[in-house]
Each structure stands twice: as structure tokens, then as C-alpha cells.
């Protein structure tokens, strides 16, 4: 015999009662906090700072479960899930980088892959790297040619195209430019 326990929250009449079945996570456990889904970590942090009610806030990566501890790139991550516990006064936000769409069930199975920038100019490679979540473009050789290296064509890259961005998000995209006096020595 299976017993299903249904719980109903009290309503003040301004909103519909929120119901959940035991064992099934609810998108909102209380009506105390607004939904922050779709907002960036930086935005949520600003809005929650000094806000009432006071809750302990945890930002957790949906990809591997780690809690954010001040990584500089994570401020652009998007809230996909929000779980509140009114009794312990905590709220946990499940986050993903902006390049990974929020799945409807909160589970991430597919990350974008490292794009190929070989054959692109340094300027193009830099834009592509930004869009995919690399913190910066690191190119060689740079010292001999100054800023003009971004006008040259990328000969090699690291990490290689096709690897999962899950392991490379927030890193530098390293490239080797074609030397203006000779071909790429792959």
C-alpha cells in the first residue's frame, strides 16, 4: 500500500495556495522570497544584500554541485533552480553559465564544446572565446608584434576544439598565431 502525503500552505487570499507532494521538490517552498530564476549571480547577490527576510544564501553549480566561493567568472552565471527552506531560513540557487541553457528538470547533461578558432583572426577568436566562457585570450607570439597580433590568423589553440566547456569554463583560451614571415608549423 502506497501512501501519498499532500501538504498545503496557508494563503492570505492574495495568492493561490502552493501544494507539493512529499518527495517531490517544489519550485518555491515559501512565499517569502520572489523568484530569482533567470537572473545572474551578481544581480541576485545585489538584490539579496540587506533584503528581508534574511536568508542564508548558497549558490551551487548544477553541473557538479560545487558551491561558489568567489570565482570571478561565476557572477555571470544564471539562476536555474531556487529551493527555499523557511524553517532553516536558507535558500539555495542552482546556477549555470550563460552558455548552457537552463533545463526544465534542473539536470545538466550537455555542455557546449570548445569551438575551433583555427583560421580565425585574433579579434574573431577573442569574441568567440568570450561568448563561450573563456576569461581571456592568450596569444603567442605577442611581444614582437604588440597589439597587431590580434589581426593575425590563429594557427593552433589550447584547449583543442571539441572538448567539453565544463572543464574549461573560466580558463584562458591559448592560441598560436601564424608568424607573418612564414606558414603555421603544425
Among residues 73, 45, 43, which one has the least CA distance to residue 58?
A: 45
Q: Are strands 136-140 and 172-177 parallel, antiparallel or unpaired?
A: parallel
pLDDT in tens, 114-129: 999 998 988 899 989 8
pLDDT in tens, 70-107: 665 677 889 999 999 888 888 999 888 887 788 877 66
Q: How high is the mean pLDDT of the chain?
A: 74
Rounded Cα distance, 142 and 50, in Å: 46
User: Which pLDDT value is given to residue 140?
Assistant: 78
| DSSP-assigned letter for residue 40 | B
- The residue-averaged pLDDT of 7-23 equals 34
In the chain, pLDDT over 90 holds for what percent of residues? 12
- The pTM of this model reads 0.56
Amino acid at each position: 500500500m502506497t501512501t501519498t502525503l499532500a501538504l498545503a500552505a496557508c494563503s492570505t487570499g492574495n495568492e493561490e495556495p502552493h501544494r507539493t507532494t512529499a518527495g517531490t521538490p517544489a519550485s518555491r517552498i515559501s512565499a517569502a522570497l520572489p523568484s530569482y530564476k533567470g537572473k545572474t549571480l551578481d544581480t541576485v547577490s545585489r538584490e539579496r544584500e540587506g533584503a528581508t527576510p534574511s536568508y542564508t544564501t548558497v549558490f551551487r553549480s548544477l553541473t557538479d554541485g560545487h558551491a561558489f566561493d568567489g570565482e570571478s567568472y561565476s557572477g555571470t552565471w544564471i539562476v536555474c533552480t531556487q529551493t527555499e527552506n523557511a524553517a532553516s531560513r536558507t535558500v539555495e540557487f542552482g546556477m549555470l553559465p550563460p552558455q548552457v541553457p537552463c533545463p526544465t528538470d534542473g539536470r545538466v547533461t550537455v555542455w557546449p564544446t570548445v569551438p575551433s578558432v583555427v583560421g580565425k583572426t585574433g579579434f574573431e577568436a577573442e569574441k568567440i572565446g568570450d561568448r563561450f566562457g573563456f576569461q581571456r585570450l592568450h596569444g603567442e607570439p605577442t611581444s614582437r608584434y604588440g597589439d597587431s597580433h590580434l589581426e593575425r590568423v590563429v594557427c593552433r589553440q589550447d584547449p583543442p576544439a571539441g572538448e567539453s566547456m565544463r572543464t574549461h569554463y573560466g580558463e584562458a583560451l591559448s592560441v598560436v598565431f601564424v608568424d607573418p614571415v612564414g606558414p603555421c608549423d603544425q
